[in-house]
Structure 1
């Protein structure tokens, strides 16, 4: 057997509470830290293929279609856990395909004054 070590990029934290407070999503993590992300930022940073685009089987990038976001696009109706690694918001306009890894969600909160960080689910 090979004795090399391979780093695992598993989340070190899990959310223990999530609430919408005004126009922000507040997440309390099991280590006591908190993350705050504006709902508009959260939606605009959606990592799904419809919002970000995707590569085909040959690696050619397909840009996403233009989005028409409305006030309902920034209203959070529900948020679901996805396995042990992420969250899936359900927006009032019906959009619900984005899965945000815990790591990505934390980065969105840490860089709240800068453009959305690149979506790297396992960086």
Structure 2
């Protein structure tokens, strides 16, 4: 198995709890701010992706999901524990980079799939159920750094 692209290895990862955004800076100078909800609905776990094409499970009601903790996985990935109990996705450096590069198109695809399925980003019974909330604020309150193993 080939290792991650050296330019796709993060040099800094910060979990912004208040704005629910994972901020990642890479060795190539690029940086991305990935909302927790986006990370959750695009989890690389079998629970979300299934075990083959056509087995993907549409994630609904994840607009308010948080990240309770983030664990390093060797020198190649992180494994977040989400507030809804999901903790099986291992996000490789290359996968996180792809998520950052393709965020806009992937997010629109997710919204389109939700609409087609008649589902919502918001949990049933929440004040915002059925309505699309604004993107997370770009605020660093509650941020904490996550160190990458060396």
TM over 0.5: yes
Aligned residue for 2:22, secondary structure, equals: strand
Per the alignment, residue 10 of structure 1 pairs with 4
The within-5 A match list for 1:83-122 is 83-115=74-106
Aligned residues: 104
Whole-angstrom distance in 2 between the partners of 1:81 and 1:51: 21
User: Which stretch of structure 1 is more off in the superposition, 39-48 or 22-31?
Assistant: 22-31
Structure 1: segments with no counterpart, 5+ residues: 1-6, 56-60, 117-123
The within-5 A match list for 1:22-37 is 22-30=19-27, 32-37=29-34
CA shift at 1:16, angstroms? Answer: 3.1
Tell me which of the two structures has the higher relative contact order, counting C-alpha pairs closer than 8 angstroms and 6 or more residues apart: 2
Aligned residue for 2:43, secondary structure, equals: coil
Q: Which runs of 4+ in 1 moved over 4 A?
A: 64-68
More strand by share: 1
CA shift at 1:106, angstroms? Answer: 0.9
The root-mean-square deviation of aligned C-alpha atoms, in Å, is: 2.7
Using the size of structure 1 for normalisation, the TM-score is 0.68
- Whether 1:81 and 2:104 are equivalent positions in the alignment is no
- Whether 1:42 and 2:8 are equivalent positions in the alignment is no
More helix by share: 2
